[in-house]
Amino acid sequence: MIIACPFCHGLNRVPADKAANTARCGKCKQALFTGQPLTLTSANFAAHAEKSELPLVIDFWASWCGPCQSFAPIFSQAAAELEPQFRFGKIDTEQQQTLAARFAIRSIPTILVIRQGQTLAQQAGALPKSAFYQLLQKLS
């Protein structure tokens, strides 16, 4: 499986028989899984959303958005519990307006799940933990 590094964004081939949670980047030697959401930008988006074979769960958010702030701990907890089954990333719609426009994000928070550039699911609005996990379980 091809997995992008959360630090240098280099692509790594991880054999199926290797424990993903112990995998390290061949380029920067950092752990490939941290249990923390990535900050996604125009510069690193392609490596994680298009080139990596791991499903990417994206939270489109903004700092002024109350529902975004209330959903943030649920999203972070999911990253800690569900990596390496999924990669989790956050896109600040104020900072990354091009990415928000690319996916026609009209309300925040919006959750988008992508694998190799293909949208698997999209959900607008903050979800309770059980509904969020149920959405992800359908995709695993």
Residue 50 · residue 102 · CB < 8 Å:
no
Residue 27 · residue 10 · CB < 8 Å:
yes
Sequence-separated (6 or more) residues with CB below 8 Å from residue 102: none
What the block records as the tokens of 30 is 């950092």
C-alpha distances in Å from residue 66, one per residue of 61, 120, 125: 10, 26, 11
8 classed as catalytic: no
What CA–CA distance (Å, rounded) separates 113 from 54?
10
What the block records as the tokens of 103 is 């996916």
25 classed as catalytic: no
Residue 2 · residue 12 · CB < 8 Å:
yes
Residues catalogued as catalytic = 65, 68
